[in-house]
Chain A
Amino acid sequence: MFEDIYWEEILNITLLSLRVSGTAVLVGALIGIPIGAVLGFRQFKGKRTLMRFVDITLKSLINTFMGLPPVVVGLVVYLLLTAAGPFGWLGLLYTPTAMIITQLIMVVPIIIGVTMSAVGSVEKSIRERALSLGATETQAAWLVLREARMGVLTSIIVAFGAAISEVGGIMITGGNIRWWTRTLTTAVVVETELGNFTMALTLGTVLLSMAFAINLVLTIVQVKGARR
């Protein structure tokens, strides 16, 4: 029954999926968390109408970008990296790096958005309590970040979930090249098209189990963190 399954290839595909999505989320966190925190801290309480307008527009934009269609991101990245494009000279098209860039563009708004609301929801009460207990503004800001940590972790879980299950974007920019840029999701597409349903199902199962395992670990951290 398993004669159509190439375990070595599956391992290669799985590791590449992890590498691409993991790197995208890691770099995305480094970029998105500070921006999200800063935006969460900015509380415009109706004092200056213009600043409030800018703030609301910015936040709506981020919310829109949180739902970017991956194929659109893939298309834009393709056009930028293609030989005739502005970054064609880098020779990145159809490489894992191109796939990382594609997913990075997708996950950054997610991480910013979720971090922003996590920080924003505790900002007022925690900052005030810290100040009242004698903290300086800087000390109070650190405490706000610390109290928002579970929300920040949530942003990473959501971002990783979106990245690992994404197909359209990396299909365009990675090219789905066997042993090179083929990931779990793009492989499922190919195997299904070829009628290799056993292989496709196995890949799908690996994808699901992996997503479950990683979320399990993150959720355990989250549950523990909520209590401690």
Chain B
Amino acid sequence: MPTVEVQNLYKEYSGRQVLRDVNFGVKNGELFVFVGPNGAGKTTLLRIIDLLEEPTSGRVLFDGQIVDYSSKKDMVALRRKIGMVFQQAILFNMSVFDNVAYPLKVRGESERNIKQKVKEALGLVQLNGFECKNALALSGGEVQRVAIAQALVTEPDLLLLDEPTANLDPKNVSIVEEVISNINRERQTTIIMTTHNMFQAENLAHRLAFLNDGKIESIGTFQDVFGKPSKPVKSFARLENVFYGISKITTEGTSIVDIGNGLQIEAAFRKTGNVRLHVPPEDIILSTQPLISSARNTFEGRITQISDMGHVVKLKVKIAGNKSFMAQITKRSFNEMQLNIGSKVYMAFKASSVQTN
């Protein structure tokens, strides 16, 4: 019996359909991830499951029981079994301790229990010693971790996480990801989370669903969803390093593609005319020194974004002509090269790494 079931769910905001015929079930102890681009309806879906919003039609079931939106008492009782972390964490203007204690206080727990549980919850997110700090004086990553502690302190049956690592730096991302998988493994907490990060989904999810334009496009294991991707999944998965240009065949039998702003990419295929290119981020080599290599494409650029994916790090490199590439390197190389936002790097990839439609 699934603990959470959503059936034929529709949600409209003043005539605009945000969710369309959403159906899925999440089993007890499962870590279920919704992947999809921004604006797909992921946040709205989580808010409906957290009972902060009512669906326009369709229904939500917890442990087989249909949610009755007319009973305020039932709603409070149900919400008390759910913990939620918003994408934009909201903390109260009080100490970290009082913030984390709040959900216990409204449940009428004893002072002694509160002390004990707050301490444990802060330990989970590695914020021991932060009790007396004011919550509004924390950094972005700490705010997110306090919000997670607030959601975990009541030991909820169901944990909802809305893009929990968006806007966090690599160190905080790995702390948060660790907490998520630990809670799921050790407490058997059922987790539903959203992300637009495929790699995070792959690392964490038991099962996942691809949500696009308010509809579930596909659902299953990572392999089911991204192994043989449908068209929207494909376009989502390939958002990175996609370029459009005009291709010309060279005398050497390769192609030179002009992608605009004076930039040319050499590719191993033979094509003329308009083409779409894709360079897999893992095929890009980065160096802090100028590169002398056999790779046909070399560029110089600066790092504008760093995302920690666990064992790998993805870097956004901006090169001349205002184009950016995503490069993926191992965590170890990242640490050895001592890269940072703004670092100057040299980037190279082979002509044979360039894929086309």
Contact = CB atoms under 8 A, between A and B. Distances in A.
A48 to B, nearest CB: 15
B92 A147 contact: yes
A126 B137 contact: no
B103 A126 contact: no
Contact of B93 (A129, A132, A137, A147): A147
Interface residues of A, number: 22
Given A136-B106, A143-B92, 20 more contacts: A46-B14, A125-B90, A128-B90, A129-B86, A130-B102, A131-B79, A132-B50, A132-B82, A133-B103, A133-B154, A134-B76, A135-B106, A136-B76, A139-B106, A146-B93, A150-B93, A225-B93, A227-B134, A227-B136, A228-B95
A227 to B, nearest CB: 5
12 contacts: A129-B92, A131-B76, A133-B102, A133-B151, A134-B79, A134-B80, A135-B102, A136-B76, A139-B106, A226-B93, A227-B134, A228-B94
Contact of B84 (A132, A135, A139): A132
B252 to A, nearest CB: 61
Interface string B167-206: 0000000000000000000000000000000000000000
Interface of B: 14, 50, 52, 72, 76, 79-80, 82, 84, 86, 90, 92-95, 102-103, 106-107, 134, 136-137, 150-151, 154
Nearest to A228: B134
Interface in A128-166: 128-137, 139, 143, 146-147, 150
Interface in A112-126: 125-126
B92 A131 contact: no
Given A132-B50, A136-B76, A226 B103 contact: no
A126 B92 contact: yes
Nearest to B75: A131
Given A131-B52, A133-B150, A227 B137 contact: yes
Nearest to B137: A227
Contacts of A133: 102-103, 106, 150-151, 154
A216 B239 CA distance: 55
